[in-house]
Amino acid sequence: MEAVCGHQIKRKKKAAVLTTTVISLLAVGMYVYVFHYLKHDPALVNLEERLGPSSLEHPLGTDHLGRDVLTRLLLGAKLTVGYGVLALLAIVGVGVPFGMIAGFKGGLVDRVFMRIADAFLSFPDTIVAIVLSGILGPGIGNLLLAIVVVKWVNYARLVRSTVIAERQKDYVTIAKINGLSSLRILRKHLLPHLIGHVLVLASLDLGKIILLISSLSYIGLGAQPPAPEWGAMLNDARPYFQNNQWLMIYPGIAIAGVVLLSNLLGDYLRDRFDVKKEVGS
């Protein structure tokens, strides 16, 4: 009984931390848009104010081109996190259907899928993403495509294993006897069992995808200047690190904070849906 109560208290604490953090971020975002963005163009170069210190006009100072760091940092959240969410939706949209079909059909379809999955999983995600981005050329569109290519297999394998475990159960057999089509069985009976697993993996994966986007943008394969993307901001600030460390510290803290928030969300959803610890580990 005490263990159950402790688990519930822990879950409520995680929910409170997530809610407070999200509300705080939304409040800061509203402040920047209403009071700050209207005054500072994130792409406007003003060399007279380059590398300026913190002030009332520029709370986080200015960068090497005189652009307001706070405005670029907050607008960078829309790009970095937005690109991460977009890539995640594409990954789920590709991986889940493939996994459902392979797990439900079995036979030759499943064997072909497993050989494809083994080929993708034989190389590290980051290396493959760098190679694909280099071949396709710099740009956020090519980077997102590379991330989808290297990440969809994880979701397909997770969904496949869940479908294989569920398709042997009585309710699926009864649905087949009643004449339900394969598509309807997948949509009505098997898909609800997948939602929790996919949500947990996606929430834990969001931080990894954001790190990948920022890392490849840092080396010039992702977002291109003057886009205020956090990885690109780190790259722009690198030559000035010795004398103006804050130019790299601010986007670094932003990336670390979003990754931490993503992990907290994943832990909360894992407890909420009672998903095994292996998911996302």
Confidence of residue 260 (pLDDT cuts 50, 70, 90): confident
Q: Is the pLDDT of residue 243 over 70?
A: yes
Q: What is the pTM of this model?
A: 0.81
Check: CB of residue 185 under 8 Å from CB of residue 176: yes
Task: For residues 160 and 162, give the distance between their C-alpha atoms in angstroms, rounded to a whole number.
Answer: 5
Q: What is the DSSP letter of 222?
A: S
| pLDDT of amino acid 145 | 92
Check: CB of residue 99 under 8 Å from CB of residue 158: yes
Q: Is the pLDDT of residue 21 over 60?
A: yes
Q: What is the DSSP letter of 218?
A: H
Check: CB of residue 207 under 8 Å from CB of residue 259: yes
| pLDDT of amino acid 181 | 77
The half-sphere exposure of 177 on its side-chain side, counting CA atoms within 13 A, is 6
| pLDDT of amino acid 93 | 93
Confidence of residue 261 (pLDDT cuts 50, 70, 90): confident
CA distances from residue 45 to 40, 48, 61, 70 in whole angstroms, order as listed: 10, 9, 14, 15
Q: pLDDT tens digits for 161-190?
A: 888 888 887 777 787 777 777 778 777 778
Q: Is the pLDDT of residue 213 over 80?
A: yes
Least confident of 14-23, 26-35, 72-81: 26-35
| pLDDT of amino acid 17 | 61
| pLDDT of amino acid 162 | 87
| pLDDT of amino acid 113 | 84
| pLDDT of amino acid 23 | 64
Overall average pLDDT of the 244-270 stretch: 87
CATH code of 81-272, in short, is 1.10.3720.10
Q: Is the pLDDT of residue 28 over 90?
A: no
Confidence of residue 89 (pLDDT cuts 50, 70, 90): very high
Q: pLDDT tens digits for 222-234?
A: 888 788 889 989 9
